[in-house]
Amino acid sequence: MKYRKRKRGDDLGVLKLETDNTKAMQLPDLLHCYRVANLVFTLCIKLGIENKVREEMFIAATLHDVGKSMISKDILNKPGKLNSTEWNAIKHHAELGGVIASNMNQNLSIVKSIVHHHENYDGTGYPRQLQGEEIPLGASIIRVCDTYDALRMKRPYKKAFSHEEALNEMKNEKEKYHPKVFNSFISMNFEEVKGVKVGSMNGF
Ligand SMILES: [Fe+2]
C-alpha cells in the first residue's frame, strides 16, 4: 500500500490510501467502510451467524462501497441536491462494487451482499427492488449498519446525527429493514463494537 498527500483543489481527500481496488476512494468513504465492517461483525455475533459466514460478511462490508471508486468525485462531493442523472450515477456504485469484488475473486455470497446492500425490505431500494427474504441476508445486515453509520457521519449536505438521533431516524422507517436484523441491531451493545468511532479521525 502506498499513499500520497491531497492534490490542491481536492475537496475532501486529506490523504488517499491507494490499493489496486480502492485507489480512487476518499478517506471518509474508506473509514465509513471500516466502521460498517466492525458493526457488521458485532451484529453477526449477536445474530448467531457462524464464524465462516461472519468473516465473509466482514469482507463484504469492508468492500461494500468500493464501487464509489468509479463514480465522479464531483458528484460524490456535491454539497447540494443531486439531479436525477447524478443520482442514477451514484446508484451504480452497488453493482460496480460487485464487479470489483468479483474481479478480486470474492465468492458469490460476498458479491451479492455488495450488489444488494441498498435494497430495502419493503422493495423500495436499488438496484433490483428486491423485497423481504429475496434480499441476501448479508445485504440486509450491511443495509442496517451502513444506514446507521451514514447518519452518524457529517456529510457536505447533512450534519452528523447523535447515536440516539440515528436510531430514532431508523425506527421511523423501520419497514425498510429486515425485522430480525433491525431488532438485533437496535438492542446491540455499541460499546462492544471494536475499532475507530465515527468523528474521531480528523472529524470523519
Ligand atoms: Fe453504498
Alpha-carbon Rg for the chain, nearest whole angstrom, is 16
Q: What is the pTM of this model?
A: 0.85
Residues (pLDDT < 70) of the chain are 1-24, 196, 199-204
| Domains annotated on the chain, with CATH | 2-192 (1.10.3210.10)
pLDDT digits (tens, 9 = 90+) for 18-27: 344 445 678 8
Residue 192 alpha carbon to ligand 1 centre in Å: 24
| CA of 143 relative to ligand 1 center, distance in Å | 8
Predicted pLDDT of residue 80: 83
Best CA proximity match to 60, nearest among 15, 112, 17, 123: 112
* pLDDT for residue 7: 44
User: 94: CA distance to ligand 1 center in Å?
Assistant: 6
State phi, psi for 24 to the nearest 5 degrees.
-105, 5
- Distance (angstroms) between ligand 1 centre and the Cα of 3 equals 24
Question: How far does residue 46's CA lie from ligand 1's centre (Å)?
Answer: 23
Q: Ligand 1 centre from 150 Cα, in Å? A: 9
